[in-house]
Chains A and B, each alone.
Chain A
Amino acid sequence: MDHALRRPTRPRGRTASVSSLAAVALLGLAACSSSDPLAEDGGDGGGAGDGSAIVVGSQQYYSNTIIAELFAQKLEAEGHEVEREFEIGRREVYMPEVESGAIDLFPEYAGNLLQHLDAESEAATREEILAGLEEALPDGVEALSAAEATDQDSYVVTAEFAEEHDLSDVGDLAGIDGGVRIAANSEFATRPYGPEGLQEVYGVDAEVVPVEDSGGPLTVRALKDGDADVADIYSADPTIEENDLVVLEDPEELVPPQPVVPLASEAVGEQARAAVEEVTAELTSEELLALNGRSIDEQAAAEDIAGDWLAEKDLD
């Protein structure tokens, strides 16, 4: 952006000063936004200041941002300087920045991350996945100890639908004539635990109804309206309980567990790592569900939710 703004615009004649005036106005704006997080990845010297600050990143997913905020506030409480680079879209966008050290700390989900790093990986259990992750991560990036909390895809149906078709685990869906429609983000269609895995492991015929809200209100609505039979909703999503939805059991462990795991660069020192691990040690699935619940029900901001939780756990 700075390139675009700072290109000198010489006033040429009266009318041309339209542009120079506008340029001056813009420069003014740019000047008062030196704290703008976007300005930093411009690459030309903006940078993360003197390098002593720990840069914490988060996905564009409210729950992930809450976890990142937990790490950030814990580090601040320990006297570290922290810079927040939150709400970064997708794994492919932020992983290069984690690998290059532009981002020092990032809460991740072990299963999908391993899949991203090593598409061939066959790890299925929590232990296998965490071990696989350690191997697959590039030099300079380390996985700190994972939380008990996991936030994984889960197959859910409405209580009525479960009753009508006598469903308790995913395999029971095979009994429904004509297959089932599953509301999920579009990438679900190509995930190993998507339609292909369902067919292979449970003999279920499934068609994807893509809704891009990551199991949010529209997905739930599609389920209730009967526009979909099954929905893929993250297990830590409080809407499951609120809407009286039934999570189908997955006895064959088709869906890999997604324990929350902090990724740390070499810039995160020992003391800071210990602080982050104090947070993950307290983070159980129930706790994560409660944190997310505050975000959905009270529509509270991530920093407030995180601050309250740390205080409650005496971690601040």
Chain B
Amino acid sequence: MEWILENLPHILELTLDHLLLSAPAVLAAFLLSLPLGRLAVRLPRLREPLVGGIGLLYAIPSLPLFIVLPLILGTSIREPLNAVVALTLFGLALMVRSAADAFGSVEEDVRLAAVAVGHSAGGRFLTVELPLAGPALLAGLRVVSVSTISLVSVSAVLGVTSLGSLFTDGFERGIVAAIVAGIVTTAALALVLDLLLVALGRVLMPWRRPVPRRSASRSAEKGAA
């Protein structure tokens, strides 16, 4: 405990580094999953190869990916962009399936009605399908956000600074408090981002509260309140 208090500024700095690696990756994975998920729904034959194939990205051990990417991207291992891209790929592996499921749950009648009303393809996607798929997308996004934040730590083994640095340092010096602080702060960061996402969902999707299809998010909100 004393160690934690004495090293609080350091821990906060690492938390910020951690956030700056994970948040862009979560955002990128989310944005990229939208067209991919939509495509999977539009082309049912492509669905399994696309969703399953991208899902298998999850099978790549994270450490080697952090090292291979610089060879492909021309970055250096320590460059944040490198870690962000790696984390985006893992996020995509989870998010594309959620996105496909979310868009798949938008009923065909609704889609046809939107066409009948005269929406263009783009307009239909943005004003009809996206809002209707919103709650399910949010549920997927929350899983991606949590798992990305816990995944970042591994890059510390390679010297990318994040809360994971507390694990490598604590491990070598035998400081249990450092490791515990790292675990707790990571979990807390994940929780805060999750609450932010829930709040954002409420602001942006006031028509759907509480989420009836997935009582998951409802209970989570309750638990937090």
Q: Do A and B belong to a common assembly?
A: yes
Residues of A within 8 A of B (CB): 1, 3-5, 9, 12-19, 21-23, 26, 29-30, 33, 36-39, 41-43, 60-62, 87-90, 93-94, 96-97, 213-214, 216-218, 295-296, 299, 301
Select the stretch in B36-44, B92-100, B168-176 that faces chain A.
B168-176
What is the 8 Å Cβ interface bit string for chain B, positions 1-38, against chain A (1 contact, 0 not)? 00100110010000011011101100110110000000
B contact face: mostly helix, strand, loop, or mixed = helix
Partner of B20, one of A21, A36, A295: A36
Q: Is the CB of B174 within 8 A of A217?
A: yes
Please indicate the chain A residues that have their CB under 8 angstroms from the CB of B21 in the complex. 1
B68 within 8 A of A: no
Q: What is the distance, in angstroms, from A266's C-beta to the closest C-beta of chain B?
A: 21
Q: Is the CB of A41 within 8 A of B76?
A: yes
Q: Is the CB of B6 within 8 A of A301?
A: yes
Please indicate the chain B residues that have their CB under 8 angstroms from the CB of A3 in the complex. 81
**A14→B205 CA distance, assembly (Å):** 9
With both beta carbons as reference points, the residue of chain B lying nearest to A32 in the complex is identified as: B16
Q: How many residues of B contact A (CB 8 A)?
A: 46
Select the stretch in B109-117, B157-165, B183-191, B212-220 that faces chain A.
B157-165
Partner of A13, one of B3, B81, B130: B130
Q: What is the distance, in angstroms, from A89's C-beta to the closest C-beta of chain B?
A: 2
20 residue pairs bridging A and B, Cβ less than 8 Å apart: A1-B81, A4-B24, A5-B24, A15-B130, A19-B27, A19-B30, A22-B200, A26-B24, A29-B20, A29-B23, A36-B17, A36-B20, A38-B20, A38-B160, A88-B159, A93-B77, A214-B172, A216-B172, A217-B173, A296-B174
Q: Is the CB of B158 within 8 A of A89?
A: yes
Q: Is the CB of A87 within 8 A of B204?
A: no
Known contacts A39-B20, A87-B161, A217-B173; can you find 5 more A-B pairs with CB under 8 A? Answer: A15-B126, A16-B130, A41-B79, A62-B173, A216-B174
Q: What is the distance, in angstroms, from B63's C-beta to the closest C-beta of chain A?
A: 11
Q: Is the CB of B171 within 8 A of A218?
A: yes
Q: What is the distance, in angstroms, from A138's C-beta to the closest C-beta of chain B?
A: 17
B104 within 8 A of A: no
A contact face: mostly helix, strand, loop, or mixed = helix
Partner of B131, one of A1, A14, A37, A301: A14
Q: Is the CB of B159 within 8 A of A93?
A: yes
Please indicate the chain B residues that have their CB under 8 angstroms from the CB of A16 in the complex. 126, 130
Q: What is the distance, in angstroms, from B64's C-beta to the closest C-beta of chain A?
A: 14
Please indicate the chain B residues that have their CB under 8 angstroms from the CB of A97 in the complex. 76
Q: Is the CB of A87 within 8 A of B130?
A: no
**A37→B20 CA distance, assembly (Å):** 12
B78 within 8 A of A: yes
With both beta carbons as reference points, the residue of chain B lying nearest to A303 in the complex is identified as: B10
Please indicate the chain A residues that have their CB under 8 angstroms from the CB of B79 in the complex. 41-43
**A18→B168 CA distance, assembly (Å):** 36
**A43→B81 CA distance, assembly (Å):** 11
**A121→B132 CA distance, assembly (Å):** 67
Please indicate which of the listed interface residues B6, B126, B130, B174 has the most CB atoms of chain A within 10 Å of its own CB: B174
